[in-house]
Chains A and B, each alone.
Chain A
């Protein structure tokens, strides 16, 4: 059983919106902070956002005001609502579990391509 499985990626036009999901299993999802981390083609890792177990959120400056992280603890699912998408948002998006400021479990990623 894979602990984290992302979905929802795809091709979207600049200015468009997309919602990513991350299904969690095998652990008490509600107890953990969760993150989204992305990786543009051929580039390094970039932290995107975090949602704490109490629902409070933090964002990287590059996505603040455009992306919204949320969680449904009843469905063990993490979300990332992305709007006003730009070409530079093209990346593989990973969800990851936080175990006290380090990311100990990662999903396999879902690919988002922003292009006309």
Chain B
């Protein structure tokens, strides 16, 4: 089970928008619509922020949005805030009936 590919790090200034990509294959992201995104602050458990590619839990800010094009899913955070500084992970259900995570992206708010 190979991991999905994410950039190691991204950065942005407060108020700006950033996008984190998550590249898979036709066996995972493209075949299924079960891409999810998780936010993890240091020393804390992961928190679901996007599911089924574009859906957002009710308690998650509308500044977070998800999209997909072919084998690549993306997470966009608009209006960056200091508290957005965290690690972000994508995940997908695969055709081998297993789940796989991306390697994670560290977001730095400058």
User: What residues make up the interface of A, taking CB atoms closer than 8 Å to B?
Assistant: 35, 37, 44-47, 50, 58, 60-61, 94, 96, 99-104, 106-109
The answer on a CB contact under 8 Å between A102 and B104 is no
- Inter-chain CB contacts under 8 Å: number: 65
A101: B residues at CB distance < 8 A: 32, 34, 36, 51-52, 93, 99
Q: Is the interface of A mostly helix, strand, loop or mixed?
A: strand
A16 to chain B, nearest CB (A): 25
Closest to B93 in A: A101
Nearest 3 Cβ contacts at the A-B interface = A101-B34, A102-B51, A102-B36
Bound complex: CA of A61 vs CA of B96, how far in Å?
Answer: 11
Give the bracket for the number of chain B residues in contact with chain A: 20 to 34
Task: With both chains docked as a complex, state the minimum distance between the C-beta of B37 and any C-beta of chain A, in angstroms.
Answer: 9
Q: Which residues of B lie under 8 Å from residue A96 when comparing CB positions?
A: 46
Please determine whether B51 and A104 come into contact, CB atoms closer than 8 angstroms.
yes
User: Taking A45-B46, A94-B45, A94-B46 as contacts, is the C-beta distance between A61 and B101 under 8 angstroms?
Assistant: no
What are 7 A-to-B residue pairs whose CB atoms are below 8 Å?
A44-B87, A44-B103, A101-B36, A102-B51, A103-B36, A106-B45, A107-B45
> Is B41 part of the contact surface with A, judged by Cβ < 8 Å?
no
Give complex CA distance A89, B42 in Å. 20
**A99–B48 Cα gap in the complex (Å)?**
11
> Does A106 contact B52, Cβ atoms closer than 8 Å?
no
Contacts of A102 in B (CB 8 A): 34, 36, 48, 51-52, 91
Closest residue of chain B to A50, judged by CB?
B99
Whether B69 is near chain A, meaning CB under 8 Å from some CB there, is no
In the complex the two chains form, what is the Cα distance from A110 to B62 in whole Å? Answer: 32
Assembled-state Cα–Cα distance A106/B46 (Å): 7
Whether B34 pairs with A47 at a CB distance below 8 angstroms is no
CB within 8 Å of A: which of B21-52? 32, 34, 36, 38, 40, 45-48, 51-52
